[in-house]
Structure 1
Amino acid sequence: MLATFAATCLAQTASAHFLLPYTDQTQIERPGDVPMQLIFWHPFENGHVMDLAEPEEFYVIHGGEKTDLMDTLEQTSFEGSENAGQSYKASVPVKRSGDYVVVTAPQPYLEESEDIYIQQFTKLVLNRNGLPTDWNEVLDLPAEIQPLNKPYNIIAGSTFTGRVLADGEPVAGVEIEVEYVAAVPDMAQSSTTTPSVTTMPGGAVVAISDINGYFTFGVPRAGWWGFAALGAGKTTEFDGKELSQDAVIWVHAYEME
């Protein structure tokens, strides 16, 4: 049986950085190009927006095939509650039925306050017509969270289980920060909205991966939830400074009707 760790609230010295590839929909009914915006932000607290450089890679996996999406990127700005930061608009072609695993591999970001680089390998899964195909496939990224529940139709009040991997190998004892998109981005205005909840007392919400890399989190409400496994990757230095290669996945939860 898989041993899992329940999420707990632990005090943190800094708020969570999250690369958010945001879209209004995860379940696609009609074929077409799905608009998306890449934002490097603090969405739970509706806080500071970091400038996002052009990603090293931006692509989608469908039916086991990789399609490069770099040519869809358009530099823009996202207005948060505190400041505006560079972001990117993009589009994901969704034609046939099945899963579309959107992967963003950003350039390392220098967090000057901590004097370290952060690189978040980020996944988000779209689906068309309810046909599951690629959602739980391992992509052998430098840092990756493999979902064990379909990430585009989590039931609010149930749980989400993921497995932290580095180059396809499980990583034990990794701290996973949990984020909620409290202020849903307005894509038309490229700006934030009023938060629906406040941040938790005691700092970031955190889970720890077990000996086989697994973690489980109870999802309390509908909306977008993000999980960032900090420092999961094997590369720990960039340009003479410490590098944290994080694995990020976003899931969407719904209330049962």
Structure 2
Amino acid sequence: MNRILASVALAATLATPATAHFQLIYAPDPNMAAPVDQPLKLIFWHPMENGHAMDMGAPTEFFYVFKGDKVDLSPSLTPITFKGTDNEAAAYEGVLPVKRNGDYIVGLVPAPYYEGSEDIYIQQITKAFFNKGGLPTGWNEPLGLPTEIVPLNKPTNVIAGSTFSGQLLSDGQPVAGAEIEIEYIAAEPDMETNAVGEATVKPMPAGAIVAITDANGIFTFGIPRAGHWGFAALGSGPVKEHEGKELSQDAVIWIKAYDLK
């Protein structure tokens, strides 16, 4: 199948989103001024709805990339219980050692999650971005993941009221015509208690916010307010089956937007 036909087929697959779940790699602020061992919360949740949380299995990969060097963070993982508004769920905490100035791109490949209501597995391959000292050192470089979204705006310094663009890749190639589901963390988790905080916005009345990638796999979204924004391409990965059932292998990234003051 040529790339054009492959893109059309993938777009048809993504036309009906399988789920509104979002994998998080969360810390309150991605920008650091001094060296720190930064705790990170890995939570599988419905953050814009401040809704149901799902149990995570042990991640298959958890790492960061700094100036092209990949460092395994798996030894830092600790199981935690995330306390959502409606339920509790198994989650994880990891630690990102931030020492030198530059960009730290954190990657997570979670174990596939079985969604019984749809009889499918979901695997959200997720990236988040952190920086020390304001020095850019590679935030726009792909990590070579099976599927990923590469930011085209500096993801740790987005201005509320501006736009954010990203490029969706699958097996390193741009994906045209794909749906990008967009999410906002309405109630940020408390880093000490692992419990959800107060909601600052209500869920959208018409369901998911969606953008579509162009012929080069690029999408753009206007950022209406400060906070943590997530972008997910459902089913964009090359692996389509797990343990004999359909697998939605998704690409997810998180960015932080700020108000000008």
Q: TM-score, length-normalised on structure 2?
A: 0.92
Separation (CA, whole Å) in 1 of partners of 2:16 and 2:199: 21
Q: What 5-or-longer segments of structure 2 have no aligned partner?
A: 1-14
| Structure ranking higher in helix proportion | 2
Q: 2:50 & 2:96 partners in 1: Cα distance?
A: 26
Residue 23 of structure 1: aligned partner: 27
Aligned-pair CA distance for 1:14: 7.0
Instruction: Measure, in 2, the Cα distance between the counterparts of 1:19 and 1:86.
Output: 13
- What is aligned with 2:72? 68
The one-letter amino acid of 1:17's match is H
| Corresponding residue number in structure 2 for 1:50 | 54
Q: Is 1:86 matched with 2:90?
A: yes
Which residue does 2:116 correspond to in 1? Answer: 112
Structure 1 residue 15: deviation in Å?
5.6
Q: Which runs of 5+ in 1 are unaligned?
A: 1-10
Which residue of the other structure, out of 35, 44, 51, is the alignment partner of 1:40?
Answer: 44
How far, CA to CA, are the matches of 1:67 and 1:234 in structure 2?
24
Contact 1:99–1:135 (CA under 8 A) maintained in structure 2: yes
Alignment of 1:72-151 (within 5 A): 72-151=76-155
Deviation at 1:126? 0.2
* Counterparts of 1:191 and 1:246, CA distance in 2: 26
Aligned residues: 247
Match of residue 212 from structure 2: 208
Deviation beyond 4 Å, 4+ runs, structure 1:
11-15
Q: Give the corresponding residue for 1:170.
A: 174
Change (3 A) 1:235 1:12: closer
Deviating more after overlay: 206-215 vs 154-163: 206-215
Q: Which letter does structure 2 place at the counterpart of 1:140?
A: G
2:54 is paired with a residue whose SS is coil
TM-score by length of 1: 0.94
The secondary structure found in structure 1 opposite 2:75 is: helix
Contact 1:176–1:227 (CA<8 Å) still a contact in 2?
yes
CA shift digits 1:178-229 (9 cap, x unpaired): 0000001011110001110001111100111111100000000000000001
